[in-house]
Chain A
Amino acid sequence: MDITVAVRARGITKCFGDVVALDGVDLDVAQGQIHGLVGPNGAGKTTLLGLLLGLAVADEGTLEILGMPVGRALAAPEGVGGFVDGPGLYPSLTARQNLAALAALRGQAADLDDVLHQVGLTDVADDRVRGFSLGMRQRLGLAAALLTTPRLLVLDEPSNGLDPAGKKHVYGVLKRLAADGTTVIVSSHRMDDVESLCSEVTILATGRIAFSGPLSKLSAENRELDYRIRTSDPEAARTLALDAPRVRVVDDPGMRQDNEILVVRTLVPALDELVARLVRAGIAVRELAPVVSPLEAAFLALTEQEEVSR
């Protein structure tokens, strides 16, 4: 069994009636990696995660998890944990009771305090889940998954409802798990989440893989991006930009009209040249940032392409 590859999927197709949820999906996820799964709504992310958790079987194709072929429902090997469509929690039980019941169900002697501490829920361990926020539920769901000492952790939108501090905490837990050899697959709508957490990403669009590989490869794609530039002299900067080669001045559709902001669409080399010109002209560059991240731009471009090709 080749368990350096935690997940190997070949030609996975899954249909629900007339709807093709996954269409010939190939996927390789290396052991000990945090792998992001992104895509627009209805792209097939949850279906794919459900297959990994053993909730369903593919209509066509082969799937190996932790080196074991999976051919029927609920047959994922030991060591696969996680949740799809939100963590399954019982609101009438406390956080500790939820975990204790789950540990007893699996016949495990688990250190509940340690797991609760890991996800930062020690203070509310004896509160009923009924009163928990979405973020707290997500953390408890992660704690429940950690009880299994997972080798493959599958999490659907784990950062939903988390505040920045909570997100940082949870991401820290996931990174530690990966460092210890656990493979983590997370789905997300947000590329910035994936950027800060994952080493590799798979982009799904309408059931097909639009991209799968390292983030560096995705962001290095040669694409024009929109950049916001704030300068000490907006009018002069605009004039310079209009004259600059391979630079287009565009309106900023996502932002409120701000005369101090200049938005240009260009490639990185032309942007470098524009900045040099501004500095030479004595115009101070106070802020320079892409309107959307390079990864998000790539994501949007790839998913739109896939939609058009369908």
Chain B
Amino acid sequence: MTATVADAPVTAARPVSVGRGYRFELVKLLAQWRVRLLILACWIAPAIFVALVSQQSSLPTDTTFGRWMNATGWAGALVLLGFAGSYALPLLTSLVAGDVFASEDRLGTWRHLLVAVRSYRRIFAAKALASLTVILLLVAGLAVSGIVGGLAAVGDQPLPGLDGHLLGSGDAAGKVLLAWLCVLAPTLSLAGIGLLGSVAFGRSPMGLLLPVVVAFVLELAQMLPLPVAVRLALPSYAFIAWIGLFTSPVQVGPLLISVTVSLAWAVLATVLAYVLFLRRDFTNLSYDGSGRRALTLGALPLAGLLAVTIGIVAVSTPAMGPGIDQDKVQGSLATAFGHLYRLQTRQLNRPDVTEEQLGSTAACTKGDGLVAPEGAGNDWRCVVSWHVPGVATTGQAIYQLDVTSDGRYVADGDGPKEVNGYFQVRTPAGDQPNPLWQFDGNVDLLPTTKG
């Protein structure tokens, strides 16, 4: 363009820095109406959802913490977290990480990008970082919006944990945020799988769908009566394991293992995506993904990682059974009952009593004693006993338990109705069902974990 063009010294091309590439990728991602819509939805929709549901008389009691949504503002963000782990987060990672490479195939812009950036490695790093940023922005939106919606609609009341103990504001806020932080690990593993699918399948929609498909398969697997070692080795278990934060002591073992496994999946899937990316032939215009290479370089190493983690978990923890046995169920139920009895006592304005004074115990059978008392099922029946100071007789109440294979359970009061039947109690947040009527609990799948 100027007379000096021909006279300028010739220099070797230098690749564009990762920082500039990252900004370039962010600009492209944020210019997409789909991504903008997702960001808007993640920052607004949860608040509206939580606020509306919290005002309903019929609450999502089939979701952990759902029954507390109109009692405390902290429950809404946790209900949302349970829902997000199953549906929203896999979908978000699909739409962002699963498309970040494929979109260049669709638009036919790979050659342009390569000429501009001049480094495969830096293109990959910039794209991975940009998609990670957008995913973090979306997850942060879900968390903040859910919390704000709940607190605005219901208020900052104490949150009953899964063992019935009450969490004050600071404790609840910290644990809710930590729970959202923990699910970043499985989200990152799905994002890694999304990157892998996006690189491996090119413009094929299979790449875009891969995180959703993998998440669906893992969700199905979690419903099966798998040994604990297998369950913990699945990269999606941290979507469930965060509930261990809401017991005392915290169920650290499953949480740490599942977060570690998820991060290992995230790292391996991203590395595999990188290797596939480097091996791709960008001069071939008709490239539409490589099925065989995706299998050998993508699926097989991940299957290997699964096998290795199962082995490590099995060796390091004696956890080859279902992880749910009579002692754990009895211990968990008795603890939860003790804490919730105190809550009921306060709500009914009776003299306070401590858990130690109550000394609650539980005796549980499964299948009317006809089957071994272990594993998941809705045929657990427990009798809880306790002492009230100054009263000679031992109190007893019956519960039917529906225990799921991941250790969660719903305890349903079966009498006497004065103790665990349905009736309303007056609380500062309004009339609430008797806290001993139905409540959620959680069994630690590992033998011993201390928080």
Contact = CB atoms under 8 A, between A and B. Distances in A.
A78 B11 contact: yes
B8 A151 contact: yes
Interface in B229-246: none
Contacts of B7: 181
Contacts of A286: none
A113 B15 CA distance: 26
Nearest to A74: B118
Interface in A5-51: 16, 31-32, 47, 50
Contact of B115 (A54, A149, A177, A181): A54
Interface stretch (A87-95, A217-225, A247-255): A87-95
Interface stretch (B19-27, B45-53, B292-300): B19-27
Contacts of A78: 10-14
A123 interface: no
A84 interface: yes
Interface string B95-124: 000000000000111111111111110000
A87 B15 CA distance: 20
Interface string A79-110: 11111111111111100010001101111000
B21 A87 contact: no
**Most B-side CB within 10 Å, residue of A16, A32, A80, A88:** A88
B31 interface: yes
B24 A85 contact: no
Interface in B244-288: 281-285
A215 to B, nearest CB: 22
Contact of B111 (A80, A88, A106, A180): A88
Nearest to A177: B1
Contacts of A270: none
B1 A149 contact: yes
B391 interface: no
A86 B12 CA distance: 25
B116 A106 contact: yes
A97 B284 CA distance: 28
A87 B108 CA distance: 9
B115 A101 contact: no
Contacts of A86: 108
A16 B284 contact: yes
Given A55-B114, A75-B13, A151-B6, A105 B283 contact: no
Contacts of B12: 68, 75, 77-78
A3 interface: yes
Contacts of B117: 105
B316 interface: no
B100 to A, nearest CB: 13
A300 B259 CA distance: 67
A90 B111 CA distance: 13
Contacts of B27: 93, 97, 101, 104
A83 B112 contact: yes
Given A77-B13, A78-B14, A92-B32, A107 B1 contact: no
A245 to B, nearest CB: 52
Contacts of B112: 83, 87-89, 144
A54 B111 CA distance: 10
Interface string A169-180: 000000011001
Which bucket holds chain B's interface residue count?
A: 35 or more
A47 B111 CA distance: 12
A90 B6 contact: no
B308 interface: no
Given A54-B118, A75-B12, A151 B111 contact: no
Contact of A16 (B15, B16, B17, B283): B283
A213 interface: no
B355 to A, nearest CB: 59
A31 B6 CA distance: 8
B371 interface: no
B10 A55 contact: no
B303 interface: no
Contact of B116 (A47, A68, A105, A149): A105
B10 A88 contact: no
A146 B119 CA distance: 21
B13 A55 contact: no
A182 interface: yes
B1 A74 contact: no
B57 interface: no
A150 B5 CA distance: 8
B417 interface: no
Given A87-B112, A88-B109, A90-B28, A105 B10 contact: no
A149 B107 CA distance: 25
Nearest to B34: A92
A181 B111 contact: no
A20 to B, nearest CB: 14
B20 A74 contact: no
B1 A76 contact: no
Contacts of B284: 16
B66 to A, nearest CB: 39
B10 A66 contact: yes
B347 to A, nearest CB: 55
Contacts of B1: 146, 149, 176-177, 180, 182
A182 B107 contact: no
B120 A101 contact: no
Contacts of B118: 54, 74-75
Contact of A88 (B16, B21, B113): B113
B2 interface: yes
A61 interface: no
Given A74-B120, A90-B107, A106 B114 contact: no
A128 to B, nearest CB: 9
| Nearest 7 A/B pairs, CB to CB | A88-B112, A181-B6, A88-B109, A92-B31, A74-B118, A105-B24, A56-B283
13 contacts: A16-B284, A50-B111, A53-B111, A54-B13, A67-B10, A74-B114, A79-B10, A85-B108, A88-B111, A88-B113, A97-B27, A104-B27, A180-B2
Given A74-B119, A92-B31, 14 more contacts: A16-B281, A50-B111, A68-B12, A76-B13, A77-B12, A83-B115, A90-B31, A92-B32, A92-B33, A107-B16, A151-B8, A181-B3, A181-B5, A181-B6
